[in-house]
Structure 1
């Protein structure tokens, strides 16, 4: 996999700084009480820089919401072709586990944003778009893992089910006060959702 250039890494770091500033202000004042100008000030960037990367204040939190999916996809990209179900489960567990402070912090931001999204249609639309993008980017990864003889429709269904498993698990967890690790953690809920959604799929039973 090609490593991002220095410019791309700086761009991603700036976007993440803006995303964290937006999430913090949403937590303090709610999306309705937050402006793009306030987010730019909190992030220490010019307003034109904000709009170079994001169309709206809700869009600004996209990098935070997509972090877990990116970790999961990276784990799958590094996996060897073979039986899909154990590979998917292992990647889900590792991607949504909270072994360090950075991952735990990201899950905390995700919980707050998903709670805010219940009352903000624009923020909810960003969450759905992040998941749609994740599913589309996951498809070629699963196609490689499943091998050349796999039915493309079954691979597409697997990508959709796996993405929805993580989405539903995070939404369910965000509605509770359960910790980031343990029986009701995002990782455990996602594995449960994955098993329920893929139980009848031939591709994942091989």
Structure 2
């Protein structure tokens, strides 16, 4: 079983490439921010009072639609980053890398949910318990909210797995799962293990970040 490894890059080159991957979600975030700002402001009571014509039901439907569309990037920003990072960093098969990024991030949160459920913390609707454990609904999964940083870490891990295994050759009996098909498979396994570690280390990590006021 062999796999082709990617050429070595310096740490500086890596961070340069990583920074470029942020441009895709940031560009969409900017556009969505404009949509949300316009839609929300023009549908507000104060603006309608000032400019009564904006109270037209058709116009209000348009403004509400703009607000809904604009809220997308803010609701799914971590997901966008965990997809954009493998997509931007991968040298080949970028679509596979992006797909694996989504798979890895979703599985990571499912593993976190498994840990929380196994410990008896979930299921619950108690707001105090959810707040104490920093639990949010992520892709419809109750999980610890690791924010953008968690998505960036997940994206980098998936990218490393992609670069390591996208050309892997498996024995003939398992050949169907080789090559690019193996990337989302190994990503789901590795990120499933990462998700079991997050509940143990993230509270400490979050405390350090809060102490540094980051």
After TM superposition, the score normalised by the length of structure 1 is 0.27
**Larger relative contact order (Cα-Cα within 8 Å, sequence gap ≥ 6):** 2
After TM superposition, the score normalised by the length of structure 2 is 0.26
Q: Which has the larger radius of gyration?
A: 2
